[in-house]
Structure 1
Amino acid sequence: MTGEPPDPFTIPPVLVLSTGRCGSTMISDLLNRHPAVLSLSEFMVLLGQEAFAHRRLSGARMWRILSRQSPALRAMIRDAGVMEEVLYPLGTPGARFGVEDLPPIAMTALPHLTDRHDALFDELATVVPAQPRRDLAEQYRFLFAHLGRRFGRRVWVERSGGSLMFARKLLRLFPEARVIHVFRDGRDVAPSMAGHPNFRVLVGAIAAYRRFGIDACRNFERDRGRLANVWLERALFPFLDARKLAARPTLADFGDFWSRLVRSGQAALSALPEERVLDLRFEDVQARPREMLDRMIRFIDPSLADAAWLDAAAAVPRPTTRRKFAALPADEQRALTAACAPGLAALGYAI
């Protein structure tokens, strides 16, 4: 808009898309060490359905989405506990927010960027609501540009766990974005999901929706959010016990969920030119970190090649010495492999 500071980003944006529980958090952490990258970790996923539901909205509405927990997020925290990805120092001396009023963007995204996250939250609480009514994508672009100027970065990279659930929506908002597709063998992802309270609630909720005749996974295929989904969430989640939801899924249920995400993601990414997608297999990052991370940063932009960053980043990944899948009983291995089979085939893993 006229009169606004110039956009600081000289490199097209990047979306890190994944099923979750496949090493994408590590990728966010490594990118955060790069002096030119604005690493937005767990930004979109914690905003809930309303993150994509509006066509146009005011700055005040945008700030409510950023600063108030959705019913689903509130229920997960209330019943399943705070997820391990939350970086805000809950319960420490001087912590301004508690579990019940912790704003979504203050959970991970802001502490990921700075240890002065409360001050940054206050800054945004003034800047964002003052913005005029405009398209949803433009509200995000304004916010990201503000953060880019604030930290002196040249490119923004958004990474949320399980972001293949809303890949089409992100690509519609940011059609020029390049994509880093991080993936891992589903037979290792599913046990990790099963040990994560929020994935347990999510997969349990999908089963609960199914009992009402609603296939929640169909939402993965839509490139727009819907206010109807926001209203449905508000109507159902206050009455759902997240602990009961989390207790229901089997390991095979997580394998099936992983496969559906993979196949949905493959369909979304197939519409992009090959040069705009980097497939980053987590097992390769573990085995050959320097090669794969150098490939990743040059994919974002060749000008970002940085020997000091690469030296530090390549020292972080470590090969997994023991697969959880191998420790499962034979019958569980068979059931999980069968559930994961469509996703494994799509990604080129041996079955």
Structure 2
Amino acid sequence: MSEKTFIISAGRSGSTALSNCINMHPHLLSLSEFFMSIHFQASQEDKWIGLSDKVWDGEKFWSFLSEKAPNLIPFYMKKGVSFKEFLYNITETSKFNEKTGIPGIMSMPLPHITNDPDSLFEEMETVVKHFPKDHLSNQYNRLFSWLLNKFQKEVWVERSGLSILFVDRLLKMFPDAKFVFLYRDVRENIMAFNRFQGFKLGMAFKQAFEETGLKPSDHNTRPEDFGDLSWLHPDQFSVEKLNKFEIPFQTFGAELASAVLHTEEILAKLPSHQVHHLCYEKLVKNPKDNLKQLITFINNGWDEKTDDIWVEKAAPTFRAKPDTWPTLPEEKKKELQNICEPALKKLNYT
């Protein structure tokens, strides 16, 4: 079995930067947004179908990993929406584009670890299709072990933003893994999501569908079909209105705070050698010490000098930023505080 570590986070907690740092370490294979990416197009009924005890053969497993869907991200990027996490470079010669559809693993995971994701994708297809019929947990272990061998690494580290939403499934599928809980003041998490254009766009699309039963991206729809959200339609899209769109604290904010609390409670049940807590505020204030503690936790017995070199290289990635939630109007501040109170107490925030 391959050595494995999961970085669990609520998103907007420096987790993408941490994946970039993991990618610098010569012994670590950084699987950035792997599980979120392959579930991006999943329906609500089968939202986490790839994180279950299902038994699939190699053909079915690859069919799931390589599933393509029309991707609207490139279009909205051209309209001015920031999608820094989307790494796949669409060119005239790229294997995938808006017309062909883009597999989730090509959006972030594969371009994160190689400059030639198209070739890696094709090689993976040849390998995975020959996997024997087995439980999904074993199929992922086969795939990640193959990647470890290919890139000559020792430990794979998977990090998905919002992995707090499926931490129970990860624990069930990979009970022997190590888990790093990267957490932040939940109030600031929620504030950050309300500045994250890509996420706000997704939430606006979700609201439009819930209100109308229609998708703004459907060519058979008209802007006027969506009322106050008509600006979502490609014919009338407005970045300015996207920036003004707010995700209510009582909906997503409450769900996020509850998931953070649940994650802390469920990870507390694991043996101490399997869990490491990493506080975002402490990380950006003192990156060298906190990165040293992190890599010591992950270390698979290699020379510590390698870790020290990595710490020096990775530490400048993190810089502290002032909190924004205290700038809210008093009524909004109280609402946010009430929603987050249980999680804040559990994580020792005052």
TM-score by length of 1: 0.80
Equivalent position of 1:33 in the other structure: 24
Residue 8 of structure 2 aligns with an amino acid whose one-letter code is: L
How far residue 184 of structure 1 moved from its aligned partner, in angstroms, is 0.6
Whether the 8 Å CA contact 2:53–2:137 is kept in 1: the answer is no
User: Could you tell me how far apart the structure 1 residues matched to 2:140 and 2:326 are?
Assistant: 43
Q: Which runs of 5+ in 1 are unaligned?
A: 1-6, 213-235
Residue 156 of structure 2 aligns with an amino acid whose one-letter code is: W
How far residue 75 of structure 1 moved from its aligned partner, in angstroms, is 7.8
Q: Describe the superposition over 1:7-56 as per-residue Cα deviations: whole angstroms up to 9, x where unpaired.
A: 6x4xx310100111111111111111000001100000112133224510
How far residue 256 of structure 1 moved from its aligned partner, in angstroms, is 1.1
**Alignment pair present for 1:64 and 2:63:** yes
What does residue range 1-351 of structure 1 map to in structure 2 within 5 Å? 9=2, 12-48=3-39, 49=47, 50-53=49-52, 55-69=54-68, 83-90=83-90, 92-99=91-98, 101-200=101-200, 239-241=214-216, 249-301=247-299, 303-304=301-302, 305=304, 306-320=307-321, 322-350=322-350
User: Could you tell me how far apart the structure 1 residues matched to 2:273 and 2:8 are?
Assistant: 16
1:124 is paired with a residue whose SS is helix
User: Could you tell me how far apart the structure 1 residues matched to 2:160 and 2:327 are?
Assistant: 29
2:264 is paired with a residue whose SS is helix
User: Could you tell me how far apart the structure 1 residues matched to 2:300 and 2:59 are?
Assistant: 38
Residue 324 of structure 2 aligns with an amino acid whose one-letter code is: K
How far residue 262 of structure 1 moved from its aligned partner, in angstroms, is 0.7
The farther-off stretch of 16-25 and 81-90 is 81-90
Q: Describe the superposition over 1:252-286 as per-residue Cα deviations: whole angstroms up to 9, x where unpaired.
A: 43431221111221232122112211110001010
Q: Residues 77, 57 of structure 1: CA spacing in aligned structure 2 closer, same or farther, 3 A cutoff? A: farther
The farther-off stretch of 15-24 and 193-202 is 193-202
How far residue 292 of structure 1 moved from its aligned partner, in angstroms, is 0.2
How far residue 303 of structure 1 moved from its aligned partner, in angstroms, is 3.0
Q: Describe the superposition over 1:290-322 as per-residue Cα deviations: whole angstroms up to 9, x where unpaired.
A: 0000000000126353222111011221111x3
Q: Describe the superposition over 1:139-189 as per-residue Cα deviations: whole angstroms up to 9, x where unpaired.
A: 101100110000000011100000010101111111100110001111211
2:85 is paired with a residue whose SS is coil
User: Could you tell me how far apart the structure 2 residues matched to 1:58 and 1:204 are?
Assistant: 37
Residue 124 of structure 2 aligns with an amino acid whose one-letter code is: L
The farther-off stretch of 156-165 and 268-277 is 268-277
User: Could you tell me how far apart the structure 1 residues matched to 2:203 and 2:263 are?
Assistant: 17
Q: Residues 54, 277 of structure 1: CA spacing in aligned structure 2 closer, same or farther, 3 A cutoff? A: closer
Residue 68 of structure 1 aligns with an amino acid whose one-letter code is: E
1:86 is paired with a residue whose SS is coil
Q: Residues 153, 258 of structure 1: CA spacing in aligned structure 2 closer, same or farther, 3 A cutoff? A: same
2:166 is paired with a residue whose SS is helix
Whether the 8 Å CA contact 1:28–1:39 is kept in 2: the answer is yes
Whether the 8 Å CA contact 2:31–2:156 is kept in 1: the answer is yes
User: Could you tell me how far apart the structure 1 residues matched to 2:74 and 2:342 are?
Assistant: 32
Q: Which runs of 5+ in 2 are unaligned?
A: 40-46, 218-225, 233-241
How far residue 338 of structure 1 moved from its aligned partner, in angstroms, is 1.6
TM-score by length of 2: 0.80
2:34 is paired with a residue whose SS is coil
- The runs of at least 4 aligned residues of structure 1 exceeding 6 Å deviation read 75-82, 204-209
